[in-house]
């Protein structure tokens, strides 16, 4: 039996009760999967929730700890993936299978107006006995104790507020009406907050959560701590000591306490006063040695008109950006909901303070006051690159020579980070919105909150905490958390394609296929129709050989495997040929001559043309009447090292010779 969704066709598999024992038409009650970020099953009457089974934690559904292995059947939850689709998750479902296929008829699932039952047929008694029922008791009723209320069936009354919380309405609570739930005793200021561990729980409803499958519990905690809107976290998979991460936002509903089993849930609580002072002291110690100006908060709020919308010039991944009046400064105000906290803030300050290059944005100073964390940069008059290349009107102001200069500038900045700076820096979030343009449209790489620094000869690392922007992430980083200078090269390749075509790396239609920008570019390249990629705004100003070379470079940069990509640091690779070789002198877009085919079709497909082409049929030589000559017009004469010449012989005589 299969329950869930086919995400490609929006087909749903669910159980629906009959209207009555005599009427098999669909009734109001159903058992179905809700497609949250962390999906879970509900028993519902129409749209009213009666019971929540909880999300799958790798072993069982969180609200069904009694679903232990048995001799009759097993239940599993499955997510099927397909890389050919833009959203690669194509099916989410659970299935119930009978272990003894010869006895398949002895187990059935039945849904009534009050419960879902797994029943077993007893042959001797000729009777369906109930093996499992949900909901099984009062605590299985949906959200019976309200927000932050914990239902424990072994105590009386069954509902108690979680530690650190009190009833929202003491009067209602005393009458055993727990629907209004509980509230925290002391409001949180975010800074210095802590987490309290609550073991053995059915985890709260997952309608407002984020799921991070590649993050361990420690990084899960850190990421939640650095986001003031994150109220709780736990592992998404409890197998093998736990892995994956779930973050909850808003109120926590439908919690129950199990006597055995259950999961650990870590709930955010306000900081102790001593913790707050320690956090501030540690932050100041890490930044006190930097040669940067410490801005006063009053100066910044005055210059930005109290962070007014009129002064807002952009929105970064970590918060809004404002212009300071009468000063060529830009202020990035860390948003409490951004996910960047003390760790990323200190990282960005430390890294940028030590980096000096004309294609990197310059950090002028910072401000730390109360809950405010602010970075002050040099002001970029023309804003970010994405506001030009993805806008049909503003895109007209960037002709091809200007776009090529921007490409070169980004590459120079990346070369500095990878090779010439004191520490080797991997940016990890290179994208169009993080490229700023000054008054002369010179590009400057910005936003180093995700960056990692390497010393010595180290060029790669790994992490369970994958950060950055999907669409720009290299496959090995997005899937396995492996990052290196080749990860940035991949992002550079995506950025190159976007600058050339004026489109974001998102779903594009080609025939009956839906492809992302990279897939679209590869398809056009193989069809020898790559000129379709070029932004109409630059068609009149571009040099075709230059554009083709840049497309070639971009496709080399987005190779699936990092070892197949060039680096920014090798002087003999394809990226630097863009700089050092005249486009009219180097032909790096190869096709076989008419009548010839690639010697290695596999290498040819990945733009490695070094093995060249061959004739499908060898020349006869001895039987000259079987051979013929084909006239190719407009070619550059090949290497003449193995030729002979006679000025006294005409072309026809040469042919016959």
User: Concatenated DSSP letters for 266-312?
Assistant: EEEEPPPHHHHHHHHHHHHHHHTTS--EE--HHHHHHHTTTT-GGGE
Angstrom CA distances, 314 to 310, 321, 385, 471, 563, stand at 11, 5, 12, 21, 36
97 with 187, same domain: the answer is: no
371 with 393, same domain: the answer is: no
313-352: string of b/e by CB count within 10 Å (b at 16+)?
ebebbbbbbbbbeeeebbbbbbbbebbbbbebbbbbbbbb
Q: Which SS3 state, helix, strand or coil, does residue 257 take? A: strand
For residue 322, what are the β-bridge partners? 312, 331
Higher pLDDT, 600 or 588: 600
15 with 93, same domain: the answer is: yes
Q: Each residue of 198-238: pLDDT tens digit?
A: 998 999 998 888 888 888 888 899 889 888 889 999 998 88
What per-residue confidence (pLDDT) applies to 130? 74
- Residues in CB range of 530: below 8 A, 6 or more apart: 521, 524, 548, 551
Domain boundary among 560, 580, 600: 580
Residue 134 clears pLDDT 80, i.e. is over it = no
Answer whether 169's CB lies under 8 Å from 180's CB.
Answer: yes
79 with 28, same domain: the answer is: yes
417 with 523, same domain: the answer is: yes
Q: The pTM is what? A: 0.50
Q: Is residue 429 part of a domain?
A: yes
368 with 404, same domain: the answer is: no
Q: Each residue of 523-554: pLDDT tens digit?
A: 888 888 888 899 999 999 998 888 988 888 88
Q: Is residue 653 part of a domain?
A: no
H-helix or E-strand spanning residue 74: strand 73-81
Residue 93 clears pLDDT 50, i.e. is over it = yes
Domain containing 186 equals: 149-271
529 with 394, same domain: the answer is: yes
Q: Each residue of 239-274: pLDDT tens digit?
A: 877 888 999 988 899 999 988 888 899 999 887 644
Q: Is residue 617 part of a domain?
A: no
d(Cα 484, Cα 492) in Å, to the nearest integer? 13
What per-residue confidence (pLDDT) applies to 82? 40
Tokens read off for 446: 């910005």
Residues acting as catalytic residues: 429
Q: Which residue has the tokens 């929730």?
A: 49
Query: Residues 618, 620, 621, 627: is their CA dihedral positive or negative?
Result: negative
Residue 6: CB atoms within 10 Å: 15
Confidence of residue 489 (pLDDT cuts 50, 70, 90): very high
What per-residue confidence (pLDDT) applies to 467? 61
- Cis amide prior to 157 (ω within 30 degrees): yes
The mean pLDDT value for 96-110 works out to: 61
Q: Is residue 280 part of a domain?
A: yes
94 with 158, same domain: the answer is: no
Angstrom CA distances, 257 to 46, 291, 626, stand at 28, 53, 89
- The backbone torsions φ and ψ at residue 107, rounded to the nearest 5 degrees and listed phi first, read -120, 135
Q: Each residue of 165-180: pLDDT tens digit?
A: 999 998 889 888 999 9
210 with 259, same domain: the answer is: yes
């Amino acid at each position: 039996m299969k329950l869930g969704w086919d995400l490609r066709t929006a087909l749903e598999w669910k159980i629906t009760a009959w209207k009555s024992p005599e009427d098999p038409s669909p009734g109001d009650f159903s058992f179905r999967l809700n497609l949250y970020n962390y999906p879970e099953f509900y028993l519902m009457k129409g749209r009213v929730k009666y019971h929540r089974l909880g999300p799958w934690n790798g072993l069982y559904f969180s609200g069904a700890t009694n679903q232990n292995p048995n001799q009759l059947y097993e239940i599993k939850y499955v997510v099927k993936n397909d890389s050919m689709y833009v959203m690669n998750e194509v099916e989410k479902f659970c299935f119930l299978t009978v272990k003894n296929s010869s006895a398949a008829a002895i187990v059935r699932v039945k849904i009534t107006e009050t419960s879902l039952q797994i029943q077993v047929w007893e042959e001797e008694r000729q009777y369906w006995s109930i093996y499992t029922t949900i909901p099984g008791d009062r605590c299985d009723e949906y959200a019976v104790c309200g927000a932050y209320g914990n239902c424990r069936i072994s105590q009386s009354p069954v509902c108690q507020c979680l530690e650190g919380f009190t009833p929202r309405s003491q009067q209602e609570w005393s009458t055993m009406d727990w629907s209004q739930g509980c509230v925290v005793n002391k409001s949180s200021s975010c800074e210095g907050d802590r987490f309290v561990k609550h073991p053995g729980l059915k985890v709260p409803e997952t309608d407002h959560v984020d799921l991070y499958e590649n993050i361990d519990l420690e990084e899960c905690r850190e990421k939640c701590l650095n986001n003031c809107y994150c109220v709780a976290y736990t592992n998404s998979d409890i197998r093998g000591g736990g892995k994956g991460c779930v973050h909850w936002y808003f109120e926590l509903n439908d919690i129950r306490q199990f006597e055995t089993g259950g999961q650990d849930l870590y709930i955010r609580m306000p900081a102790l006063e001593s913790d707050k002072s320690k956090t501030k002291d540690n932050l100041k110690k890490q930044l006190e040695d930097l040669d940067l100006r410490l801005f006063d908060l009053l100066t910044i709020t005055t210059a930005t008109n109290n962070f007014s919308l009129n002064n807002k010039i952009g929105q970064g991944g970590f918060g809004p950006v404002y212009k300071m009046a009468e000063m060529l400064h830009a202020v990035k105000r860390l948003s409490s909901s951004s996910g960047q906290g003390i760790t990323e803030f200190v990282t960005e300050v430390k890294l940028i303070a030590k980096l000096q290059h004309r294609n990197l944005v310059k950090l002028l100073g910072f401000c730390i006051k109360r809950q405010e964390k602010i970075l002050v940069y040099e002001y970029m008059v023309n804003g970010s690159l994405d506001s030009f290349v993805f806008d049909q009107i503003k895109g007209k102001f960037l002709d091809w020579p200007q776009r090529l200069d921007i490409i070169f500038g980004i590459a120079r900045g990346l070369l500095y980070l990878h090779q010439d700076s004191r520490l080797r820096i991997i940016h990890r979030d290179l994208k169009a919105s993080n490229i700023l343009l000054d008054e002369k449209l010179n590009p400057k790489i910005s936003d180093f909150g995700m960056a990692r620094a390497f010393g010595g000869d180290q060029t790669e690392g790994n992490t369970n905490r994958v950060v950055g922007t999907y669409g720009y992430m290299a496959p090995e980083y997005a899937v396995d958390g492996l990052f290196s200078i080749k990860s940035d090269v991949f992002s550079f390749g995506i950025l190159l394609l976007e600058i050339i075509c004026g489109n974001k790396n998102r779903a594009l239609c080609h025939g009956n296929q839906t492809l992302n920008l990279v897939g679209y570019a590869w398809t056009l390249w193989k069809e020898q129709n790559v000129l379709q990629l070029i932004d109409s705004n630059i068609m009149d100003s571009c040099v075709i050989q230059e554009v083709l070379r840049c497309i070639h470079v971009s496709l080399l940069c987005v190779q699936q495997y990092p070892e197949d990509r060039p680096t920014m640091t090798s002087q003999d690779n394809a990226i630097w040929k863009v700089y050092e070789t005249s486009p009219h002198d180097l032909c790096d877009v190869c096709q076989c001559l008419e009548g010839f085919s690639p010697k290695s079709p596999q290498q040819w497909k990945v733009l490695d043309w070094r093995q060249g082409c061959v004739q499908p049929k060898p020349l006869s030589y001895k039987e000259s009447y079987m051979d013929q000559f084909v006239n190719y017009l407009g070619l550059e004469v090949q290497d003449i090292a193995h030729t002979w010449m006679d000025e006294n012989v005409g072309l026809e005589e040469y042919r016959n010779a």
